[in-house]
């Protein structure tokens, strides 16, 4: 019923813990009367670290987990997700970045979403960093950006019917892919906001301070919404 696509590129530091937590959540959900069939596809873009070896060892113990291994030229999340979706068996897909954590409650809500035959949606989210600043930031994202503006990024755990991709293919040009994808989706379909948060690794915010990363994200979004499509310029801001 549901294919979970986990895009991966050089994630040896967190991939094993991520897969263990995902498998635990799936096993907990399987004890529920709402349980349904789930496959997990770890889509690797061409990792040069030990990510693939870790995934292969993990998949030996889980028949419902499998590796989709590729060598993607100029890899991006969009390309890596598309590679996984092309190998998926089921009519609904959940895009779940490797730094996101779901619980059995998220699967219960996904069951309702699938039964309703809705087109696409995503979850609210919170971060590993539980500081007051990050909590406020997450609340604002959930209410303003996701719920009211129908704007989903990869870390919202985007879920959709595969048939949606016939009309709105996943962008694969390497930058702001999830923003462009979300904009196109809401032009064509009604979204479903699922207020059952997933937990997101806050490493990008922790590296140089949450406030700096928030400001950089805001600046990039402002320029993008004002019509700036210069990827090199926006990437330069992101790398600050």
Position 208 pLDDT exceeds 90:
no
Residues 71 and 178 reside in one and the same domain: yes
Clarify whether residues 58 and 119 are in a common domain: yes
Q: What one-character DSSP code corresponds to residue 57?
A: H
pLDDT digits (tens, 9 = 90+) for 219-235: 999 998 888 878 888 88
CATH number at residue 43: 3.90.550.10
Please give the C-alpha separations between residue 34 and each of 90, 106, 109, 130, 192, in angstroms, as whole numbers. 17, 12, 10, 31, 19
Say if residue 124 is in the same domain as residue 220. no
Query: What's residue 165's pLDDT?
Result: 96
Residue 204: its pLDDT value, please? 86
Sign of the CA dihedral running 50, 47, 38, 20: positive
Same domain, 236 and 192: no
Residues 164 and 228 in one domain: no
Q: Are residues 197 and 213 in the same domain?
A: no
Read off the pLDDT of residues 86-132 as tens digits, 9 standing for 90 and up. 999 999 999 999 999 999 999 999 999 999 999 999 999 999 999 99
Residue 77's domain comprises 2-201
For residues 159 and 223, state if they share a domain.
no
Same domain flag for 23 and 57? yes
d(CA 113, CA 101): 19
Residue 240: pLDDT over 70: no
The Cα 104–Cα 146 span in angstroms is 22
Q: Are residues 127 and 213 in the same domain?
A: no
Together in a domain, 80 and 184? yes
Q: How many domains does the chain have?
A: 2
Tell me what the pLDDT averaged over the chain comes to.
93
Verify that 89 and 72 share a domain, yes or no: yes
Judged against a pLDDT cut of 80, whether residue 2 lies above it is answered with yes
pLDDT at 231: 80
Question: Could you tell me if 106 and 36 lie in one domain?
Answer: yes
Which pLDDT tens digit goes with each residue over 38-68?
Answer: 999 999 999 999 999 999 999 998 999 999 9
pTM for the whole thing? 0.93
């Amino acid at each position: 019923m549901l294919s979970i696509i986990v895009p991966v590129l050089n994630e040896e530091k967190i991939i094993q813990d991520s897969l263990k937590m995902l498998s635990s959540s799936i096993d907990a959900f399987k004890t529920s009367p709402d349980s349904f069939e789930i496959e997990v596809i770890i889509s690797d873009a061409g990792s040069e670290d030990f990510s693939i070896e870790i995934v292969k060892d993990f998949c030996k113990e889980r028949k419902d987990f499998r590796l989709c291994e590729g060598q993607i030229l100029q890899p991006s999340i969009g390309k890596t997700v598309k590679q996984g979706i092309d190998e998926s068996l089921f009519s609904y897909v959940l895009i779940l970045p490797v730094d996101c954590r779901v619980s059995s409650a998220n699967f219960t809500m996904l069951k309702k979403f699938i039964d309703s035959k809705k087109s696409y949606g995503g979850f609210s989210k919170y971060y590993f960093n539980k500081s007051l600043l990050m909590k406020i930031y997450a609340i604002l994202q959930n209410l303003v950006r996701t719920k009211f503006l129908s704007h989903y990024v990869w870390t919202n755990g985007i879920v959709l019917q595969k048939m949606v991709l016939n009309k709105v293919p996943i962008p694969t040009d390497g930058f702001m892919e999830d923003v462009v994808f979300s904009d196109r989706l809401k032009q064509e379909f009604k979204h479903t906001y699922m207020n059952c948060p997933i937990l997101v690794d806050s490493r990008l915010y922790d590296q140089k301070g949450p406030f700096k990363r928030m400001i950089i994200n805001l600046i990039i979004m402002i320029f993008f919404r004002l019509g700036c499509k210069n990827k090199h310029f926006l990437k330069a801001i992101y790398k600050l």
